[in-house]
Structures are given as C-alpha cells and as structure tokens.
Structure 1
Amino acid sequence: MKNLRNQTLLGIIATLLFTYCSPQKTEEVEEVIETKTPTLTLLWETADSLMTNESVLFDAESGTIYVSNIIGQDPLGKDGEGSIAIISKEGKILNPAWVTGLNAPKGMAISNGKLYVTDIDEFVEIDIASAKIANKWKVEGAQFLNDVAAHNGTVYFTDMNTGKVHAYSDGAISTISEGNESINGIAIGEDGTIYGLDASGLKKWNSDGTTSIVNAEVTGGDGLVILGDGNYIASRWVGEIWFANDSTQTLMIDTKAAESNTADIGYNAGEKIIYVPTFFKNKVAAYKLDY
C-alpha cells in the first residue's frame, strides 16, 4: 500500500510538471482601433436680421461673440452701412449695431484690447472698451482684404484679390507673403506658425518664408480653425465645412441645397462650438463639434 501511494503521488507530480512546463497555447487578440468620424450638430440659429453677416469671432476671455455685417449685397461696396454686432452664447442678438460706420467688414481678431477688422482696402482698429473706431489704415494696393488672425501682438490679414498676406505691429503694416492665389482664411498656431487657405489648399508657412501644403483637397477655403494634433476645420463660402488633416478630409456640413453659405467661421474651443455666418441668410448658426 505504501508503494502504491508513492507511485500515485509521483504520477500526480509528473502530471503537474508536464502541465506547467509545457508550452501554453495563447489566444491572439487583435486590437481594433475605431476612427471616429467628426460631426457637427446644430444647436441654435439667431434671428435672420444680421444682414449679410460675413465673419464670427468668439472672444474666449470675455465670452463675447462678434459678428461682422456687410449689410448691403456688395462685398466691395463703400456705402458706410457695415457694422459689428454682438450676440450671446445662446444665440440672442444683444446689440445689432455695436459699432457702425464701416463699409463691408469681414475678418476680425483681437489683440491688446482692440478689435481689428478688414474693410475692403482699409485695416480698422476698434477700441473694445469704448466701442469706438480708434484708427483706420489705408493698405497700399489692397483690393479685397479678408480674414484676420492675431498672435503675440502681431495681427495678420489676407488680401484675396492680390494674393498677399499682411502683418500689423507697432502701428506699421508690412507685407510678409505674396503669390498666394485667392488667399482667404488665416490662423496662427500656438508656436506662431501661420496657416492659410488658398487655391492650392490648406498650407503653412515655414520659418524661411516658404510654404508647404498640408492638405491639397480643401481648396478655396474661407474660415480656418486650428484644432491641434494636426487637425483643422475649414469652411468654404459655398456652403461646406470640412474636417481635415495632412492625410484625409471629411465633409461635415453641406448647406448648398439650402443656399445657406458658410463664410468665415468662429470657434469656441472650450465648448467645441463652431459659429457659422450664413451671409445672405442673415443669421448665425451654432454647431456642436464632436470628434
């Protein structure tokens, strides 16, 4: 009996050793990474009394939303009817004529307590605290000044007809780039890199002044937003809003059938909301960005 018990014990030990020392079969689990398609969901629209609104600017510091209104039908009309309006984050028109006396105001940017606006061939400085036009500069050779962006005290703006990018700093205006066909939207990265939208697509300026194409598919863009991590949002005036990077592009909004334009968009980064000026539809639409 003793020998039998010893043999049984040795058998159990041998079985356990074989089990633990033998190669184990493992199941390979393939990791599936899903790429989320970015979307825009309509939140609200203002009343349709922001006549020929071309640009929207969200001020993250104050929460104010500015809207530039051409008022007339002519984006080059020097009629003195243009204005800047203020709307709330809920889509209420708080002041339809916060600043008046402009012609056909378009792009806007804020720097050092001033709101800077392009107005056909003039660069306009508005003192935000007093809501008064502080300065106007006639830009030499300008034909169709358009989008505006600011970074570290310098304000950049484009001329769609001449293909130039201008910069304003310390009371002086200079030209920093030429030959950009139909240049419109402009935005500045946190590191100071300039990005723009023209006939060649979404491009960026290198440190030596040359340009590189980021995305060649989204051409003729109007408003430009830098999301970070190599992602961007670009609007086309005809009624399109695109999500783009250096390898792909996704059409998120197409309002061409409704004849609703998508001009120079604004962005509330904290809440991921895109503000869309609809131009001839005379209202601003707000969309929640999910990506």
Structure 2
Amino acid sequence: MKILLSALYLCCVLSFSVTAQTPTLTQAWESDTTLTTPESVLYDAKNNVLYVSCINGKSVPENKESFVAKVGLDGKIQQRIMTPGLNAIKGMGIIGNKLYTASFFAINEIDLATGKVVNNYTVPDAKMLNDITIDEKNKTLYVTDMRANSVWKLKDGQLEKILEGGLLKNPNGLFYDNGKLLIGNGEGILYSYDTKTKDLSKFAEGMGTEKSGIDGIESDGKKGYFVSEWRGRIWHVTPEGKPSLLLDTIDKPMNTADFAYVANKKMLFVPTFLKNKVVAYKVN
C-alpha cells in the first residue's frame, strides 16, 4: 500500500510540474490599425521600445512603400520611419546604432539616429529574404531566403551563404542561441544548426503545414522557446523539443507573424499582418 501511495504521489507531482511549466497567454492590449501589414516586431532593450516592420501593402518586389514604426510597450505609436525604397520589409535586427531590415532582395542598414538607409547589401540570386537574427557578440547577422531555401551570413560587410537546400523547405523564422541557429521550416519543423560543426538536426516538429510554416522564434529565457505559425498559432517548445499550443487565432482569422518577447516583462508582442495591428500578450 505504501509503495502504491508513493507511486501515486510521484505521478501527481510530476504531472503538476509539467502543467506548471506550460505558460499561458492573456491579452494585454492591441495597437491601432495604422500599422499596415505588420510582419515583424523587434525589441530595442537599450531604448526600451519596439520596432515594427510594416510591409504596407502586398509582399511583392514592386512594393517599395514599406516603413518601420517605433511603438511604445504600451502600444502607442511614437514615430514612423518612412525611408524611401524599403521593399516589402520583414525581419529586423540591431547592431550598434544601426537597424537592419530584410527587403525582398537586400539587407537594408538604417541609421537609427537619422532614419536613413546608409547601406544596402544585395544578396546574390535572392528570391525573398525573410527573417533576421544577430549573434551574441552583435557582430554577425543571419538571414533566411525563404524562396531560395537558403540561409546567409553578413559579417564585416561580407555576405556568405551558409546553408542551402537539403532539409530546408521554405525556411522563414530564424533565431541565434548560444552558437546555434534555430531555423523554422515551411512545414512546421524547427531545425537546429550548429554554426561551428555545421551540423543540421531536427529539434521540434508539428507546428505548421506546407501552407503555413514557422514565422517567429524567441527564447523564453528558460532554455525553451516561443514559436509562431504565420496562419495564427503560437506555441511553447520545451528545452527537449516538445511543443504545446498556447494560442490559436486562425478562425478569427488573425495571423501571428514574427513576434518579439521581452523576458523581464513577460510580454509577447505579436504582429497580426492582415489585421494591421500589434497585439500584446502577458505570459503567465
């Protein structure tokens, strides 16, 4: 009897532990709807502000009307950086005082002080650049080319293709974490690429379809990750690679694109693409 009770107690404790570690989301606010076609949100810790890349129309090469919005953590829009020529911009990253955006065929380098483009790095044979991530030294930028099934590196002004084809299928979301790149594939598989050994392996799966792959990836600050599926889902992935669904807005319908997570505030900031707004969620 004592053995049976001990076993039941252990099962209850383990069950509670798993349940307790699975976060939940509660909506905190939503912005107005002037953030036209928001694709990516980036948190600038230095200035405690959000940057939102707005495609501002269709995601096509002919669209050169994109802009970046500066948004407070309360959802109020502070400024629109209307830099001429930004081409259907998506992912973003910050190195020093420069903001980098992924246009269709080039990486734009924008001076945050002036809002002007100071460099354009054209990626050879690019088909549609998408997400951007920066390494821990703030020196190396990585970007996915979704339609070319490739990943590029930009360092010291030099571009280098580091991955192409193979397991990659419409790669979108990208996140650098401790020497590894997490790559969100088009069919909902999350791959891990070791930047030193060049090994590419499956980390998690089941978070999308061929028509709606992984868009955003962020660390949860506890060796796990938050992951978004463009069509309208947000997942939590444990350090062991097990996904749990946290949010499903597909039926609304409302997209969940390349979000930002601010760990010290336990907040997710989600761009809704066709709904033209950012929605903030408290992580419980």
* The two structures share one fold, judged by TM-score above 0.5: yes
Counterpart for residue 248 of structure 2: 254
Matched-pair contact (CA < 8 Å) for 1:68–1:107: yes
1:193-232 alignment, distance < 5 Å: 193-198=180-185, 199=187, 201-206=189-194, 207-219=196-208, 220-232=213-225
Matched-pair contact (CA < 8 Å) for 1:83–1:101: no
Moved more, 129-138 or 44-53: 129-138
Counterpart for residue 51 of structure 1: 36
Given candidates 82, 92, 97, the residue that maps to 1:108 is 92
Counterpart for residue 61 of structure 1: 46
Q: Which amino acid aligns with 1:185?
A: G
RMSD: 1.9
CA distance in 2, matches of 1:156, 1:247: 22
Given candidates 215, 218, 234, the residue that maps to 1:241 is 234
CA distance in 1, matches of 2:215, 2:241: 20
CA distance in 2, matches of 1:142, 1:154: 19
Counterpart for residue 42 of structure 1: 27
Counterpart for residue 167 of structure 1: 153
Counterpart for residue 288 of structure 1: 282
Matched-pair contact (CA < 8 Å) for 1:50–1:96: no
CA distance in 2, matches of 1:187, 1:216: 16
CA distance in 2, matches of 1:79, 1:248: 38
Counterpart for residue 128 of structure 2: 144
In the alignment, structure 1 segments of 5+ residues that lack a partner are 1-24
Higher Cα radius of gyration? 1
CA distance in 2, matches of 1:261, 1:27: 48
Q: TM-score, normalised by structure 1?
A: 0.86
| SS state at 1:85 partner | strand
Q: Which amino acid aligns with 1:173?
A: L
CA distance in 1, matches of 2:159, 2:26: 39
Deviation at residue 98 of structure 1 after TM alignment: 5.2
CA distance in 1, matches of 2:32, 2:56: 15
Counterpart for residue 184 of structure 1: 172
CA distance in 1, matches of 2:266, 2:222: 15
Matched-pair contact (CA < 8 Å) for 2:221–2:263: no
Matched-pair contact (CA < 8 Å) for 2:81–2:115: no
CA distance in 1, matches of 2:254, 2:152: 30
Counterpart for residue 5 of structure 1: none
Deviation at residue 247 of structure 1 after TM alignment: 4.5
Q: TM-score, normalised by structure 2?
A: 0.88
